[in-house]
């Protein structure tokens, strides 16, 4: 079984999960079904992926208490009542009566209603409809505002993170506030990360693949990666990162790749 980390409100979060961004309903149903067979328990979807129905079909029949299902809602729901409606719609599409983790998908600071969304999530958690609550793509300044205005910190912040966008300041802020960092695009999609000579060499030293080395670097930093794959072999590969350990030198070599990639996909969303 995949090891877990306990979130600040007590829920056990698997230390690696399956992402489903850009999968259609049918793709997601197949990919999630295979992933569950392989031993994945954390499945990450979103309203914005338009595949919760497909994900839900794959979850049918699996023991609910063994699953950890995450979804996220769009900016139109950034109000206390809106979040309740967003939850009900996601749960209905997924065929679930509670979610393990629900996230504000983006802060959308222009709209400036993410604190209201956060109050809505706090109410959902109090009502027992979601086990854990958090954010996605929030920077420390956004998180600080939630803490200042509500006194409640998110349990998770899911951000774009990989060795070439290592987000050390975000991770330090998270650690200070007991927020678990989740990584989307943990394999550095859109970059040449998996072909970098340092990554390839370290992989050879362990008899592992470059993807496994990158995911292991994240796990050793206490980051929870959510690699997306529709391919059963790569899904299995990505899960097999709990049986080897990178040395301090190897960790440092990978960390030194920070900032050597092109502009990250999340950069334009935070221009202010
Ligand atoms: P595939 O689904 O064919 O495996 P993202 O960064 O958005 O999470 O996307 C991950 C991308 O990396 C996908 O295109 C996925 O393609 C690919 N991928 C997933 N696992 C591996 C792996 N172990 N080795 C190489 N590529 C991978």
**Atom number in ligand 1 closest to CA 189:** 6
**For ligand 1, atom 25: residue with the closest CA:** 211
- At residue 67, φ and ψ (nearest 5 deg) are -95, 155
230 CB less than 6 Å from ligand 1?
Answer: yes
Kindly provide the b/e burial profile for residues 46-77, where b requires at least 16 CB atoms within 10 angstroms of the residue's own CB. Answer: bbebebbbbbbbbbeebeeeebbbbbbbebeb
255 CB less than 6 Å from ligand 1?
Answer: no
Q: How confident is the model at residue 267 (pLDDT cuts 50, 70, 90)?
A: low
Q: Please, are residues 139 and 51 in contact by the beta-carbon 8 Å criterion? A: no
Q: How confident is the model at residue 31 (pLDDT cuts 50, 70, 90)?
A: very high
Ligand 1 centroid–CA 229 distance in Å is 5
**Atom number in ligand 1 closest to CA 22:** 7
**For ligand 1, atom 2: residue with the closest CA:** 229
Task: Indicate the average pLDDT of the chain.
Answer: 96
227 CB less than 6 Å from ligand 1?
Answer: yes
Q: Flag whether pLDDT at 264 surpasses 90.
A: no
Instruction: Report the percent of the chain where pLDDT is more than 90.
Output: 94
Rounded distance between C-alpha atoms, residue 180 and residue 7, angstroms: 7
User: Quick one: average pLDDT of 25-33?
Assistant: 98
Pocket test for ligand 1, best of 228, 232, 264 (most atoms within 8 A of CB): 228
232 CB less than 6 Å from ligand 1?
Answer: no
- Whole-number pLDDT of residue 262: 77
User: Quick one: average pLDDT of 115-137?
Assistant: 98
Q: Flag whether pLDDT at 272 surpasses 50.
A: no
21 CB less than 6 Å from ligand 1?
Answer: yes
Q: How confident is the model at residue 133 (pLDDT cuts 50, 70, 90)?
A: very high
Does the active-site annotation cover 49? yes
Rounded distance between C-alpha atoms, residue 62 and residue 46, angstroms: 20
Ligand 1 centroid–CA 257 distance in Å is 19
Ligand 1 centroid–CA 238 distance in Å is 9
Q: Identify the structural domains of the chain with CATH numbers, from first to last.
A: 4-259 (3.20.20.100)
**Atom number in ligand 1 closest to CA 227:** 8
Higher pLDDT, 269 or 180: 180
Ligand 1 centroid–CA 227 distance in Å is 7
User: Quick one: average pLDDT of 158-186?
Assistant: 98
- Whole-number pLDDT of residue 271: 30
**Atom number in ligand 1 closest to CA 234:** 23
- Whole-number pLDDT of residue 261: 86
Q: How confident is the model at residue 268 (pLDDT cuts 50, 70, 90)?
A: very low
Closest CA to 53 of 13, 91, 16: 91
Q: Flag whether pLDDT at 265 surpasses 80.
A: no
Q: Scanning the structure block, which residue is given the tokens 């206390």?
A: 80
Q: What SS3 class is residue 128?
A: coil
């Amino acid at each position: 079984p995949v090891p877990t980390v306990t979130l600040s409100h007590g829920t056990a979060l698997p230390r690696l999960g399956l992402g489903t961004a850009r999968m259609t309903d049918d793709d997601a149903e197949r990919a999630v079904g295979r992933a569950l067979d392989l031993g994945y328990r954390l499945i990450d979807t979103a309203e914005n992926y338009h595949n919760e129905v497909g994900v839900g079909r794959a979850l049918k029949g699996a023991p609910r208490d063994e699953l950890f299902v995450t979804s996220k809602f769009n900016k139109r729901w950034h109000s206390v009542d809106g979040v309740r409606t967003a939850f009900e719609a996601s749960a209905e599409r997924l065929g679930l009566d509670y979610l393990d983790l629900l996230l504000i998908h983006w802060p959308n600071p222009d709209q400036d209603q993410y604190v209201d969304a956060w109050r809505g999530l706090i109410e959902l958690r109090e009502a027992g409809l979601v086990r854990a609550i958090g954010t996605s793509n929030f920077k420390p300044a956004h998180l600080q505002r939630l803490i200042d205005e509500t006194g409640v910190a998110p349990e998770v912040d899911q951000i774009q993170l990989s060795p070439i966008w290592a987000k050390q300041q975000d991770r330090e802020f998270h650690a200070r506030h007991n927020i678990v960092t989740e990584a989307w695009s943990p394999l550095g999609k859109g970059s040449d990360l998996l072909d970098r000579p340092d990554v390839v060499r370290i992989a050879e030293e362990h008899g592992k693949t470059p993807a496994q080395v990158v995911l292991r670097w994240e796990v050793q930093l206490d980051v929870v990666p959510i690699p997306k794959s529709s391919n059963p072999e790569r899904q299995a590969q990505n899960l097999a990162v709990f049986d080897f350990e990178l040395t301090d030198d190897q960790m440092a070599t990978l960390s030194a790749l920070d900032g050597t990639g092109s502009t990250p996909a999340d950069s334009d969303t935070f221009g202010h």
